[in-house]
Amino acid sequence: MFLKKLHLKNFRNYEDTSLEFSPGINVLLGQNAQGKTNLLESIYVLATARSHRTANDHELIRFGNNDADIMGFVHRRADDLPLELELGKRGKKARVNHLEQAKLSQYIGQLNVILFAPEDLSLVKGSPNGRRRFIDMEFGQIAPRYLHDLTSYRGVLKQRNRYLKLLSARKTNDRVYLDVLSEQLASFGGSIIAQRQKFLDDLEKYAQELHLSITQRQEKLSFEYDSKLKNIAGYSEQELQQLMYQQLQEQYEKEIFQGTTLIGPHRDDIKFLINDKNVQTYGSQGQQRTTALSVKLAEIDVMKEQTGEYPLLLLDDVLSELDGQRQTHLLKTIQNKVQTFLTAPAMNDVARNLIKEPKIFTIKNGN
């Protein structure tokens, strides 16, 4: 798939801008603070209905305005599909083919993107929160059931935490309701864990091969789902649901004491291993970056496998963060395959040599 056209109205520092893109590589050049990341962000928001930089949609609306509008023409399979996301003070409206979608989950997934920004290079070293977000955002785009389970899980978790606080403050003693909430939470939680494990297995298959090739076959990369639940290996989805329910029940006293839910996918993590050693603990900075690169590039293939089409790749200022060999690898992997949007202050030599027929945009002050 590729994005043919984009129209931005009052999005960040763009007042009213229409752009036509190449299905190949689009290079966005410009000095600092001109709107390069804003443009990538608008494509990301058009695809996922949320920003990678902020949870507050009002930050996306151009200063002094009440709403922003992102419109795009996506070419997928044989069709051109108009997508539109309107961001207002009172929430957002999402339209596919000019028809407003009742649920955002019906909208997400029409356009698939992978974003790679300098902060992603810290995927390995950074907080567990970042790694959970990575799985949720990337997998959520291509797996509607996952997105649904995740939304339901978050809803029940909120309720359950509120109820644990009541129990903790002795405003109620009713454990039956805690049981009900625990069973619901475990039902969504078990499904989420099973789906995450499957996604990681799929991703590992591709990431391992890419990583071997980037490291001249020196490093075997593998992933592990690191759960707060005990002994989850080899369990089916249903068994994971039961296991989570059981382990929640074993923790009631502790959870009531702390007034919060202590186990479940909202606390889980991913471990990255190189030659069976944890990269987070033992890996050099370069190994951690290369791991992040392999993971991101592997996603391209996973998305292709699951949706039948390659996603768009948004690369924000990453070339300057990688050495020549890794830049070359990255650019070779995406050539003639994936529509790419790449920002940089200026073209460097590797890019000049490897990017064939780029469409170049120079961005200055939101124009």
In the chain, % helix, strand, coil (3-state, to 5) comes to 50, 20, 30
- Residues whose CB falls within 8 Å of the CB of residue 97, separated by 6 or more in sequence, listed in order: 81, 82
Which of 24, 26, 36, 114 touches ligand ATP by CB under 6 A? Answer: 36
Q: Could you say which of ligand ATP, Mg ion, none residue 35 binds, taking C-beta under 5 to 8 angstroms by partner kind?
A: ligand ATP
Q: Could you say which of Mg ion, ligand ATP, none residue 196 binds, taking C-beta under 5 to 8 angstroms by partner kind?
A: none
Choose between 63 and 170: whose C-beta lies nearer to ligand ATP.
63
Least distance from ligand ATP to the Cβ atom of residue 292, Å = 19
| Candidate ranges 58-66, 113-121, 155-163, 185-193; the one touching ligand ATP (CB under 6 A) | 58-66
Which of 24, 30, 265, 311 touches ligand ATP by CB under 6 A? Answer: 30
* Interface characters, 219-238, with ligand ATP (x: CB under 6 A): --------------------
Closest by CA position to 207, among listed 270, 133, 258, 155: 270
Closest by CA position to 75, among listed 312, 361, 263, 303: 312
Least distance from ligand ATP to the Cβ atom of residue 363, Å = 6
| Candidate ranges 55-63, 89-97, 130-138, 176-184; the one touching ligand ATP (CB under 6 A) | 55-63
For 208-221, letters b (16+ CB in 10 Å) and e give: bebbeebbeeebeb
| Candidate ranges 32-40, 99-107, 136-144, 270-278; the one touching Mg ion (CB under 5 A) | 32-40
Choose between 36 and 52: whose C-beta lies nearer to ligand ATP.
36
| Candidate ranges 33-41, 97-105, 152-160, 332-340; the one touching ligand ATP (CB under 6 A) | 33-41
Which of 52, 62, 92, 266 touches ligand ATP by CB under 6 A? Answer: 62
Choose between 37 and 195: whose C-beta lies nearer to ligand ATP.
37
* Interface characters, 273-292, with Mg ion (x: CB under 5 A): --------------------
**Alpha-carbon span 39 to 18, nearest angstrom:** 11
* Residue 37 found at the interface with Mg ion (CB under 5 A): yes
* Residue 56 found at the interface with ligand ATP (CB under 6 A): no
Q: Could you say which of Mg ion, ligand ATP, none residue 13 binds, taking C-beta under 5 to 8 angstroms by partner kind?
A: ligand ATP
Choose between 37 and 247: whose C-beta lies nearer to ligand ATP.
37
- Residues whose CB falls within 8 Å of the CB of residue 317, separated by 6 or more in sequence, listed in order: 36, 37, 117, 118, 343, 344
Burial class of residue 291 in the structure, from the number of CB atoms within 10 Å of its CB (0-12 exposed, 13-18 middle, 19+ buried) = buried
Residue 92 φ then ψ, to 5°: -125, 150
Least distance from ligand ATP to the Cβ atom of residue 63, Å = 4
The distance between the two most distant Cα atoms of the chain, rounded to a whole number of Å, is 70
Rg (CA), the chain: 22
**Alpha-carbon span 49 to 116, nearest angstrom:** 17
* Residue 169 found at the interface with ligand ATP (CB under 6 A): no
Which of 3, 24, 27, 38 touches ligand ATP by CB under 6 A? Answer: 38
Q: Any bridge partners for residue 224, and if so which?
A: 271
* Residue 283 found at the interface with ligand ATP (CB under 6 A): no
**Alpha-carbon span 138 to 38, nearest angstrom:** 20
- Residues whose CB falls within 8 Å of the CB of residue 166, separated by 6 or more in sequence, listed in order: 172
Cβ atoms of 43 and 314 within 8 Å: the answer is yes
| Candidate ranges 31-39, 187-195, 292-300, 357-365; the one touching Mg ion (CB under 5 A) | 31-39
Is 54 strand, coil or helix? coil
Interacting residue ranges for Mg ion, rule: CB under 5 A: 37
Interacting residue ranges for ligand ATP, rule: CB under 6 A: 12-13, 30, 32-38, 59, 61-63
